[in-house]
């Protein structure tokens, strides 16, 4: 029997956080180590990765810089580029993606979002 889908607000913030989380998973450092390297509290990074908090441009820039040597990000702006690609793919799958937290509530499994984000990040790094 399939598990019921959890209702969630699928936002650009959530997807950007998942992109950062998937990139970090490819890095041998822990969440605490990355948070320390980019100058934020571990709780802040955890909130960003889970989509509860929007990443600031400064945080995205610092995360990209931290990943440049480790996962071979070639230039700044890639987190937002990957986020846009994920939004395109999720939209093509029929999921509405909101720009703000007040956006529509959609039914989507977290695994669907993670599968799309993982696929997009892996394709970029290939």
pLDDT, residue 42, reads 96
Percent of the chain exceeding pLDDT 90 equals 26
Query: Between 69 and 122, where is the model more confident?
Result: 122
Cα(47)–Cα(121) distance, integer angstroms: 20
pLDDT tens-digit map of 55-85: 888 999 999 888 887 777 777 788 889 988 9
The two beta strands, 7-8 and 106-107, are antiparallel
Given this model, what pLDDT does residue 48 score?
A: 92
User: Could you give the domains of the chain?
Assistant: 17-125 (1.10.260)
């Amino acid at each position: 029997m399939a598990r019921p889908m959890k209702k969630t607000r699928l936002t650009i913030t959530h997807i950007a956080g998942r992109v950062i989380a998937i990139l970090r998973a490819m890095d041998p450092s822990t969440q605490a180590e990355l948070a320390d390297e980019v100058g934020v509290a571990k709780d802040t990074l955890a909130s960003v990765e889970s989509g509860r908090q929007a990443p600031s441009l400064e945080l995205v820039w610092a995360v990209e810089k931290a990943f440049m040597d480790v996962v071979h990000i070639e230039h700044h702006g890639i987190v937002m580029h990957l986020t846009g690609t994920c939004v395109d793919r999720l939209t093509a799958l029929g999921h509405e993606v909101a720009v703000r937290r007040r956006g529509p509530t959609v039914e989507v499994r977290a695994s669907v979002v993670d599968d799309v984000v993982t696929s997009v990040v892996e394709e970029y790094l290939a």
